[in-house]
Amino acid sequence: MNCFECQIDSGRISTAAGICSACGAAVCVEHATMDAVQVEVTSVGNPSVQLLPGRLLHCSTCHAAIGRADAGGRAGVLTAA
Ligand SMILES: [Zn+2]
Ligand SMILES: [Zn+2]
């Protein structure tokens, strides 16, 4: 399977390394991003965020879209450092 992002960006054919968990596109290592599932943990006076173990792979397009939504505070994923 080939990377969808490489083909639409530059017409280049690159072997895919994974599948975007949001849109299902095959992506190469260059276009894949690792995110983490974020869960809001609320207790009285101490709201916090917990990152669940494991990984969530996204293509660069979905990663950018989620980042914009995350800035508004409603997305369920966060970029892992
Ligand atoms: Zn690619
Ligand atoms: Zn995607």
Cα of 63 vs centre of ligand 2, distance in Å, is: 7
* CA Rg value for the chain: 15
pLDDT for 1-56, tens place per residue? 999 999 999 999 999 999 999 999 999 999 999 888 878 888 888 878 888 888 88
* Residue 69: band (very low, low, confident or very high) from pLDDT cuts 50, 70, 90: low
Expressed as residue numbers, the domain containing 63 is 4-79
How far is it, in rounded angstroms, from Cα 15 to Cα 22? 19
pTM of the model: 0.70
Number of domains within the chain: 1
Distance of CA 42 from the midpoint of ligand 2 (Å): 30
Question: Can you say how many angstroms the Cα of residue 71 is from the centroid of all Cα atoms in its chain?
Answer: 14
